Amino acid sequence: MSMNADDLIDFLQPHFPDAFIQAANQGNKFDVRVVDASFEGKRSVQRQQSIYALVNGFIASGDIHAMNIQALTPEEWEAQQAR
């Protein structure tokens, strides 16, 4: 099975039910943005690890070759939009 951006969003959404999730891919390289209040008070690395832990099986199988993760709190996302 070849994974695309919509598949990745569908997979992640139940794990972050209140999150805003965006994803894009070129082949098996993905960019994903997860905006969720659960990231509050966590360092960037901890946020990314929580997402990597979920997709590890797809990385191991080769469905995902590379992933660029942006994990933001709603406040950080709003600040980015305001620029």
What are the pLDDT digits (tens) for 11-69? Answer: 999 999 999 999 999 999 999 999 999 999 999 999 999 999 999 999 999 999 999 99
The confidence score (pLDDT) of residue 29 equals 96
The confidence score (pLDDT) of residue 2 equals 80
Write the CB contacts of 63 (distance below 8 Å, at least 6 apart in sequence).
Answer: 1, 2, 3, 28
* Alpha helices in 4-73, H assignment, sequence order: 5-12, 44-61
Ordered structural domains, the chain, with CATH: 5-75 (3.30.300.90)
The confidence score (pLDDT) of residue 83 equals 81
pTM for the predicted model, two decimal places: 0.94
The confidence score (pLDDT) of residue 1 equals 58
What SS3 state is found at 3?
A: coil
DSSP 73: -
